[in-house]
Homo-oligomer: A and B are copies of this chain.
Amino acid sequence: MTSAAAAKIVSKRDPKAVEAAIALLAAAFGNRLVTSQAVREQHGNTLTWIANQPPDAVVFPQNTKDVQEIVRICATHRVPVIAFGTGTSLEGHVNAPFGGVSVDFRDMNKVLAVHAEDLDCVIEPGITRKALNEHLRDQGLFFPIDPGADASLGGMAATRASGTNAVRYGTMKDNVLAMKVVLANGELMTTSRRAKKSSSGYDLTRLMIGSEGTLGIITELTLKLSGIPEAIASGVCPFPSVEACCTATILTIQSGIPVARIELLDALQIKASNAYSKLTLPEVPMLFVEFHGTQASVVEQSQRFGEIAKELGGGPFDWATRPEDRSRLWQARHDAYHAGRRLRPGSQAFATDVCVPISRLAECVAATQRDIAELKLIAPIIGHVGDGNFHLTLLVDMDDRDEVKRANILMERLVELALAMDGTCTGEHGVGQGKMKYLLAEHGAPALAAMAALKRALDPHNIMNPGKIVALSQESAT
């Protein structure tokens, strides 16, 4: 959507309607409806370079019925509704380009049930992944999906998040059994049952996962859980090049080693992480790996991986099974984004990710490193390489217009390259506002038209997080 078209839609929205909706919400929710500038800005995009577009108001529901009431009020007045978890999305997902009401799930953070025998649990969307795992630990269970941030589960489902464990446990699409979703008309839809599989009708669960709040608002999730493995071994392994890291990853997966995590950090990222996380790793490309299984099987897996690494000139592969050693390592990995930002204090981070077939990964990463050098930019690389997915943390001086321009060139080239390799413009961050411009090239006109048709079918007045993923034409947005 061009900004002119966006402006037109905004101008068509009636400020009096917004006022009326806010008045009704204030009457219904009292001090759980907030309109202060500071709180509104906290609910616009915060983590990346995308400009902050605050909503007109923020409301804090306490249960599904509250959410239904909020949506009904907004629907009546044609006011946008934007679901908000922890605000850690990276592509402007929570911005309010057309104003509207941000629905903050802070207070809907309960675990409603844990079915240990069935390896599932039922939760409210506001609970974060760390809080959930804290709750589950005593029962020997965990939820494996771990994006860098301590995100809310509702947000993770909405953005089809994944993380370091995805190579073994899949992404959010693989680990949500069912959801309750408030639709654009305020009705409450149950997407599926608690059975582990079903062939009963359209896959509404998967349709909602990754829809970024544009088709409905998630108010409850039934998640698949995994048993905490009997044994975990993890370690770091240096390699002579990024290519060698990628080749080792391919061989590991091809040889059937059920690796639980296999993460690339390039030399610059290792430098950043050494400084930030007080590690003393050699500043060369590294794989951080982890194996889950029985005592015997993690030893076997670790040894096999060590052999693969050695063949490729990597190693030594130091691995440990002590929880404190492992925790330090993976905390450093999860802090990689913040570590990267410290490389250049005062800079703005352009965090972006792509995903390609794993056979093209080495080529894609190496070409990107050349582009970074050629464009004189600073951008450590980290990757969930078992999935062919990697991230750049571009550190940009926003006052240097030429550098900003070069950063944009790099991001365009990265996506072009990934698409040319039959990859995707985003492996796990999502589309939000930042990547809408790439969808036509990635999906083609018929798929994009289908997405628009689905959006119109479920949200005919375009009130659910408008201006994200699919740009509806003005006609259909009114």
Chain A stretch 410-458: residues in CB contact (< 8 A) with chain B: 418-419, 422-431, 435, 438-439, 442-444, 446-451, 453-458
In this complex, the member of A159, A162, A294 whose beta carbon has the largest number of chain B beta carbons within 10 angstroms is: A294
Contact A450 B454 (CB under 8 A): no
Residue numbers in B under 8 Å from A419 (CB-CB): 193
Closest Cβ–Cβ distance, residue A466 to chain B (whole Å): 15
Contact A200 B431 (CB under 8 A): yes
Residue numbers in B under 8 Å from A446 (CB-CB): 183, 187-190
Interface of A is mostly: loop
Contact A211 B202 (CB under 8 A): yes
Chain A stretch 141-183: residues in CB contact (< 8 A) with chain B: 159-162, 166, 170-171, 173-174, 183
Given A189-B450, A191-B447, A207 contacting B203 (CB threshold 8 A): yes
Residue numbers in B under 8 Å from A198 (CB-CB): 160, 355, 424, 426-427
Count identical subunits in the complex.
2
Cα–Cα distance between A166 and B189 once the two chains are bound (Å)? 27
User: Taking the complex as formed, is A244 at the interface, i.e. its CB lies under 8 A from any CB of chain B?
Assistant: no
Which of B117, B183, B199, B293 makes the CB contact (< 8 A) with A254?
Answer: B117
Residue numbers in B under 8 Å from A300 (CB-CB): 294, 296-297
Which of B256, B356, B470 makes the CB contact (< 8 A) with A201?
Answer: B470
Contact A227 B254 (CB under 8 A): yes
Contact B359 A115 (CB under 8 A): yes
Cα–Cα distance between A120 and B250 once the two chains are bound (Å)? 13
In this complex, the member of A188, A200, A300, A451 whose beta carbon has the largest number of chain B beta carbons within 10 angstroms is: A200
Given A202-B469, A355-B196, A389-B197, A230 contacting B254 (CB threshold 8 A): no
Q: Mark A207-244, 1 if CB is under 8 A from B, else 0.
A: 10111000100000000000101100000000000000
Q: Which residue in chain B gives the minimum CB-CB distance to A304?
A: B294
Contact A190 B424 (CB under 8 A): no
User: Taking the complex as formed, is A387 at the interface, i.e. its CB lies under 8 A from any CB of chain B?
Assistant: yes
Residue numbers in B under 8 Å from A195 (CB-CB): 355-357, 388-389, 418, 422-424, 427
Cα–Cα distance between A227 and B203 once the two chains are bound (Å)? 28
Cα–Cα distance between A118 and B470 once the two chains are bound (Å)? 30
Residue numbers in B under 8 Å from A457 (CB-CB): 453-454, 456-457
Which of B173, B196, B458 makes the CB contact (< 8 A) with A453?
Answer: B458
Contact A357 B183 (CB under 8 A): no
Residue numbers in B under 8 Å from A250 (CB-CB): 117
Contact A358 B454 (CB under 8 A): no
Cα–Cα distance between A174 and B231 once the two chains are bound (Å)? 26
User: Taking the complex as formed, is A408 at the interface, i.e. its CB lies under 8 A from any CB of chain B?
Assistant: no
User: Taking the complex as formed, is A478 at the interface, i.e. its CB lies under 8 A from any CB of chain B?
Assistant: no
Contact B199 A444 (CB under 8 A): no
Contact B442 A388 (CB under 8 A): no
Chain A stretch 231-271: residues in CB contact (< 8 A) with chain B: 250, 253-256, 258
Given A191-B447, A227-B255, A297-B297, A431 contacting B206 (CB threshold 8 A): no
Residue numbers in B under 8 Å from A118 (CB-CB): 357-359, 388
* A-B contacts besides A118-B358, A258-B258, 20 pairs, CB < 8 Å: A119-B253, A159-B199, A160-B199, A160-B203, A166-B197, A194-B423, A195-B356, A195-B418, A197-B427, A199-B431, A200-B425, A201-B469, A204-B443, A227-B254, A227-B256, A229-B256, A294-B297, A296-B296, A450-B458, A454-B458
Interface residues of chain A, those whose CB is within 8 Å of chain B, are 115-120, 159-162, 166, 170-171, 173-174, 183, 187-204, 206-207, 209-211, 215, 227, 229-230, 250, 253-256, 258, 293-294, 296-297, 300, 355-359, 387-389, 418-419, 422-431, 435, 438-439, 442-444, 446-451, 453-458, 469-470
7 contacts between A and B (CB under 8 A): A193-B422, A195-B355, A198-B427, A199-B428, A207-B207, A229-B256, A454-B458
Name the 8 nearest CB pairs between A and B, nearest first.
A206-B206, A457-B457, A198-B424, A117-B359, A189-B446, A194-B422, A195-B355, A453-B457
